[in-house]
Copies of this chain bind each other. A is one copy, B any other.
Amino acid sequence: MNITIVGLGVIGGSYALALKPLKKYRLFAIDKDEDTLRKAEKLGIIEKGYSLEDNVEEVIKNSDIIIISIYPSLVKSFIENNKAYFAKGTVITDATGVKGLFAQEIIKILPDGVDFIFAHPMAGREKKGLDYASAEVFKGANFIITPIDNNAISNLKLIENLAYEMGFSNVKYLGLKEHDNIIAYTSQLPHVLAVSLINSEALNEDTGKCIGDSYRDLTRIANINAELWSELFLGNKENLLKNIYAFEHEMKTIKEALIRDDKASLEEIFKKSTSRREKL
Contacts and interface: CB of A to CB of B under 8 A. Distances in A.
A268 to B, nearest CB: 8
A194 interface: yes
B193 A276 contact: no
A221 B267 CA distance: 15
Given A203-B276, A247-B200, A277-B222, A172 B209 contact: yes
B251 A196 contact: yes
A198 B273 CA distance: 6
A6 B20 CA distance: 56
A74 interface: no
A269 interface: yes
Q: Is the interface of A mostly helix, strand, loop or mixed?
A: helix
Interface in A262-280: 263, 266-274, 276-280
Nearest to A179: B210
Interface of A: 122-124, 126, 137, 141-142, 144, 170, 172, 174, 178-179, 182-183, 185-187, 189-201, 203, 206-227, 229-231, 233-234, 237, 240-241, 243-244, 246-251, 254-255, 258-259, 261, 263, 266-274, 276-280
